[in-house]
Structure 1
Amino acid sequence: MSVPRSSVPRRLPYVVCAVLVLLLAGCGTDGTAGSPGGSGTHTRSAGAPGVPGPPGAGGASAAPPSTGPAAAPPRPSPAPPREIPGLGPRTRAAIPAGARQAFVVTGESADSNRSTAVLYTRDGPAADWRAAMAPWPAHNALNGWTSDHWEGDLRSPVGVYTLTAAGGRLDPPATAFPYDLSPDFRVAGEGFHGEPLEGSFDYVVAIDYNRLPGTSPLDHTRPLGTERGGGIWIHVDHGGPTQGCVSIAEDRMKELLGLLDPSGDPVVVMGDAASLSA
């Protein structure tokens, strides 16, 4: 038997709508309405209030990309050792690498017989040079300086020479240097200005120009020949120019002997200022 159309209930649209609402409500996950433990409302990712967090699982903030450890700043180059004032590259290169003492005698000019002397020391080949004493006045040869010394030219030889022996007529002060005590260190007569020479060799340090290093200052061996001169010493000043030596006051001479140390491989650096600056 057919049912009259007017008797069929007209509730189907309401049922369809309810089903659609349930389906839509069941799509929420991960903290949205309909998920286990959800509150039924949407939540925001961790971050500033009102600002969505960066994309990522569970809404957690994504870590910034790793760039590795920061590069260390370049290290500055080590400063070169402090050099002896007034010496040029050629003169510095002539100083032996192992020398830790340098007695520098600087003449006022190529033709002057007046100089200034300073002892410089250092702790090792790569260490700074430093003055071990204040500058001392000194004399050199009557006619000044030369890079080509010959017997009788009355000039002091320019150069860098080792110091390996000392001696004198008087007992030495406290010194580590080999010292030849002998009455043969005597001298008489007058200097170029009429000053007495007596006592000039009471203390001497031999300069190893045209001589055998390590022997007594009185040794007359001349490896370059007698015509190239010799007997060039540091000795007690007599108040005037010398024939080729360097002279300083007696008190300064004793002080120098006390400071010189053979283990420091001492040298003398001597010449006029212009020559030493080369």
Structure 2
Amino acid sequence: MIITVTAEPGARQGLLRWNSHEARCALGRSGVAAVKREGDGVTPVGLFPLRRALYRPDRGAPPETALPVAPIGPEDGWCDDPADPAYNRPVALPHPAGHERMWRDDRLYDIVVVLGHNDDPPVPGRGSAIFLHVAREDHGPTEGCVAMAPDDLRRLLADCRPGDAMEIRLPA
């Protein structure tokens, strides 16, 4: 299955479609673009495989999906320092280089799908930690990820299988 994300004008929100479903989604604070750089707030255009799903076990059951699923723990992070050998990879905290904490207080990472963006192999500076995750209640912009309401995310994951991908598109 190919999940499509089409940006709306202004490109901080879009429409995510799969099978016969569609849902509103939040996109990067700097919109959607073909060129992604670390820290620019852009959601990258392209076709990205769904690698695996992660979830906070203290905040809910694992999502029902055929994708690989793993729990997030308090010491889990994701390296976002282009100079570090672990760039755009999961890391254990504390980590000496720049990183993002996966165990968040704001619930945005209660469910996370790792997208195969800049990971095979990672190219320093081309962007890290591009995920599909839970949106803020107002669907406010992300730092470059795609985000959707938790119920929509769980519904999508129930239809996902290994080999599925997300295609992020610019507005027509």
Shorter-chain TM-score bucket reads 0.7 to 0.9
When normalised by structure 1's length, the TM-score is 0.48
In structure 1, the partner of 2:56 is 169
Q: Which residue of 2 aligns with 1:153?
A: 40
Match for 1:242 among 142, 152, 161?
Answer: 142
- The residue type equivalent to 2:67 in the other structure is F
Name the amino acid aligned to 1:255.
R
Question: Which amino acid is the alignment partner of residue 230 of structure 1?
Answer: S
Q: Is the 8 A contact 2:27 2:141 kept in 1?
A: yes
**1:182 is aligned to 2:96:** no
User: Match of 2:52, SS?
Assistant: strand
Unaligned runs of 5+ in 1: 1-100, 120-130, 189-197, 213-221
> 4+ residue stretches of structure 1 with deviation over 2 A?
none
In structure 2, what residue type is equivalent to 1:132? S
Secondary structure in 1 matching 2:122: coil
Q: Residue 97 of structure 2 aligns with which residue? A: none
Alignment match, 2:13: 114
Give the superposed CA RMSD. Answer: 1.5
AA in 2 matched with 1:173: P
Superposed CA offset, 1:148-183 (max 9, x none): 100111111001111121112133132211011122
Contact 2:55 2:63 (C-alpha < 8 Å) held by counterparts: no
d(CA) in 1 for partners of 2:122, 2:161: 25
**Structure 1 Cα separation of the partners of residues 146 and 104 of structure 2:** 16
The 2-side partners of 1:145 and 1:176 are apart by 29
Deviations 1:13-58 (A, max 9, x none): xxxxxxxxxxxxxxxxxxxxxxxxxxxxxxxxxxxxxxxxxxxxxx
Aligned to 1:256, which of 156, 159, 162? 156
Find the counterpart in structure 2 of residue 272 from structure 1. Answer: 170
> What corresponds to 1:224 in structure 2?
123
For the pair shown, the structure with the greater C-alpha radius of gyration is: 1
Matched residue, 1:57: none
Higher relative contact order, structure no. (Cα contacts within 8 Å, ≥ 6 residues apart): 2
Q: Note the residue ranges of structure 2 that are not aligned, 5 or more in a row.
A: 77-101
- Provide the secondary structure at the position in 2 that maps to 1:228: coil
Is 1:117–1:137's contact at 8 Å kept on the other side of the alignment? yes
The percentage of counterpart residues that share the same residue type is 29
Instruction: List aligned pairs for 1:58-207, cutoff 5 A.
Output: 101-109=1-9, 111-119=10-18, 131-133=19-21, 135-170=22-57, 171-183=61-73, 184=76, 185-188=102-105, 198-207=106-115
Identify the structure with the greater helix proportion.
1
Larger proportion of strand: 2
Amino acid at match of 2:42: R
Aligned pairs, number: 140
2:26 partner amino acid: H
- Give the TM-score of the pair, scaled to structure 2: 0.76
